[in-house]
Amino acid sequence: MSHPTDPIFVLDSGLGGLTVVRALLDRLPYERIVYFGDTARLPYGSKTRPTITHFVKQIIGWSERHHPKHVVVACNTASALALPEVRAAFPHIHISGVIEPGARAAAGASGKNEPLIGIIATEATIRSRAYEIAIRKRRQRARLLMTATPLLVPMIEEGRRNDDPLVELALRQYLRQMTRDRIDALVLGCTHYPLLKPAIRRIVGEDVAVIDSAQQCAEDVAARLVEAGTAATMGLMMGPASEDRSRLSAFVTDDPDRLARLGADFLGFGVEAPTLVPPEVLYQQDAGSLGLPAMTVPEISA
């Protein structure tokens, strides 16, 4: 049984899900958030459904020690490929993703009868056709132009941002057809991409609605918490809402120092002492669930 004071657990392959954390902290000022970035195994976008599903199941299994009242799969790739199977594996946990909120925003972004909507995402997300299905459910007549943009995640994780010439070059190549065909809206179908919004906006122009699903996702989570009766309210706090940084604890499977260094680009504040959870800890859980003997692997704070 979940309680309003339990945390929201947010996961991604790397740092991209922090764009969703930022939106959640803004929208839900009384919630605590536990973030998990699977940085050792990033990128998910070039992997297959069984691998991604296995990783996400391991992480949600690990999350149970924090007793989350809600799990947000803040990764489009994992939402597109793993969500139904993961929900079936953890029927006692409320789990939501980012595709449906993003598709809802895309479907409402243009007043035109047959809008041309561009979608950029990882190879796995594009291959899954998850956005196409989710948008068409709401706007049957929308025309869609989809492009996989696999170079963007490694560049963002490397710390490259909007004025970097490699970023500019990659975006111009990837968005060439979309600008030529004059899209009406562009879905940033990966939680890393909002970091490049200024550069994307420069290329597509001011008239194109650029949709990042983080805010929509935060609205969606807020509604789900209210529906489940688990939303944290001011009355539950000991005093005034604590500042954003103290409401967030973060875990990564590799290089906690990098999260501490780059986290501020996503959040507007630095992440204090992220904790390392080596992937062995997650595989050890698999061994435990198969009844195999487990070795002890410590978690380490940066």
Residues with catalytic annotation? 75, 190
| 8, 126, 153, 259: residue in contact with ligand DGL (rule CB under 6 A) | 153
Mark the segment that binds ligand DGL (CB under 6 A) among 71-79, 197-205, 241-249, 261-269.
71-79
The encoded tokens of residue 210 equal: 């650029």
By CB under 6 A, residue 76 contacts ligand DGL: yes
By CB under 6 A, residue 125 contacts ligand DGL: yes
| 191, 215, 249, 284: residue in contact with ligand DGL (rule CB under 6 A) | 191
10 Å CB burial of residue 240 (0-12, 13-18, 19+) is exposed
By rule CB under 6 A, what string of x and - marks binding of each residue 223-242 to ligand DGL?
A: --------------------
By rule CB under 6 A, what string of x and - marks binding of each residue 42-61 to ligand DGL?
A: xxxx----------------
* Cβ distance to ligand DGL smaller for residue 42 or 250: 42
By CB under 6 A, residue 249 contacts ligand DGL: no
211/110 Cα distance (integer angstroms): 11
Mark the segment that binds ligand DGL (CB under 6 A) among 36-44, 112-120, 199-207, 261-269.
36-44
Q: How far is the CB of 127 from ligand DGL (least distance, A)?
A: 12
184 Cα distance to chain centroid: 24
- Residues in contact with ligand DGL by the rule CB under 6 A: 12-14, 16, 42-45, 75-77, 122, 125, 153, 190-192
